[in-house]
Amino acid sequence: MTEATATYPALDKRPIANTVVLFDVDETLTPARRHASPEMLALLAALRQKVAIGYVGGSDFSKQQEQLGTSSIPVTDLFDFCFAENGLTAYKLGAPLASTSFIKWLGEPKYKQLVKFILHYIADLDLPVMRGTFVEFRNGMINVSPIGRNASQAEREAFNAYDNEHKVRETLVGILREKFSDYGLTFSIGGQISFDVFPKGWDKTYCLGHLENEAKVPGGIEYTTVHFFGDKTGKGGNDYEIYTDPRTIGHSVLNPVDCMAQIKKTFDL
Ligand code: M1P
């Protein structure tokens, strides 16, 4: 039986029913922007027999479908909770939960000031390679990439090495934090070629509110234990806030292989 066709006990009938285990996506469940391995999916399916499982990623939902699901398996079949864009787009057992929007929160005039400044700044950079889609507009955030999101895998890796040396993203983030200090925004470097911009508090801890709401729905569950596994758990990383949040038990992983070893050890699988 594959992960997708497997059946799972109802959430309130799982052997450890008050516990939910959340995972970051890139470099935790999958290599950055790549597919999850069959071994990882099989291990998650085994874990799901015991507890509720979910992922919380900075990326938008379509990227997580690409990385964790397949053309015939929706990612919402593989996890009890799917939290895209830090939980701004959210599903429980395949059904959408309430969502909020970045543009509604910020308003068009401020958004235009911000995006115009970013595009001018990027236009003046002199990078070895530049591609397209420098600002990706999402429901709960914008994602800014100096090389452009259309970079190929090889170009993305080359940019990442260049950025580690020349601190292109770190410098731009520093400038934006200062210039737009009155906007109430967080600038978070979570991946290889870009950084995310969203309102303060809309980091990965945002998804914990959805879990807390579960206790309020009829027959819902109060999740008293929330595990979180992520790789960018240091200060400034996009897993830091949820990893250090008092409502979670944080696990810092090096990569998907290490994550699998830690899941097996923690949950006796
Ligand atoms: O999940 C981590 C990050 O993954 C992508 O980053 P990049 O393309 O730079 O590797 C983005 O989707 C980003 O939003 C996300 O935080």
CA 242 to CA 205: how far, in whole Å? 5
26 annotated among ligand-binding-site residues: yes
What pLDDT shows up at residue 260? 98
231/107 same-domain check = no
What pLDDT shows up at residue 198? 95
Total number of domains in the chain: 2
- How crowded is residue 69: how many other Cβ atoms within 10 Å of its Cβ? 20
- Pocket of ligand 1, beta carbon within 6 A: 25-26, 32-33, 57-59, 63, 143, 190-194, 196, 238
From 30, 157, 196, 204, give the residue whose CB has the most ligand 1 atoms within 8 Å, as the site to mutate. 196
23/86 same-domain check = yes
Residue 252 included in any domain: yes
Those residues with Cβ within 8 angstroms of residue 230's Cβ, 6 or more apart along the chain or in another chain: 23, 24, 28, 204, 237, 239, 242, 243, 250, 251, 252, 253
Per residue of the chain (269 residues), what is the pLDDT tens digit?
556 567 999 999 999 999 999 999 999 999 988 999 999 999 999 999 999 999 999 999 999 999 999 888 999 999 999 999 999 999 999 999 988 899 999 999 999 999 999 999 999 999 999 999 999 999 999 999 999 999 999 999 999 999 999 999 999 999 999 999 999 999 988 889 999 999 999 999 999 999 999 999 888 899 999 999 999 999 888 999 999 999 999 999 999 999 999 999 999 99
Domain end: 178, 199, 220, which one? 199
> What's the token pair of residue 84?
């895209």
* pTM (predicted TM-score): 0.86
124/244 same-domain check = no
CA 153 to CA 169: how far, in whole Å? 18
Q: How many residues does the chain have?
A: 269
Residue 156 included in any domain: yes
Domain that holds residue 187: 102-199
Q: 256 and 39 in contact (C-beta within 8 Å)?
A: no
Q: Which residues are catalytic?
A: 24, 26
Residue 5 included in any domain: no
Domain end: 139, 168, 199, which one? 199
> What's the token pair of residue 260?
């699998």
Domain end: 177, 199, 221, which one? 199
* Residue appearing with tokens 């479908």: 65
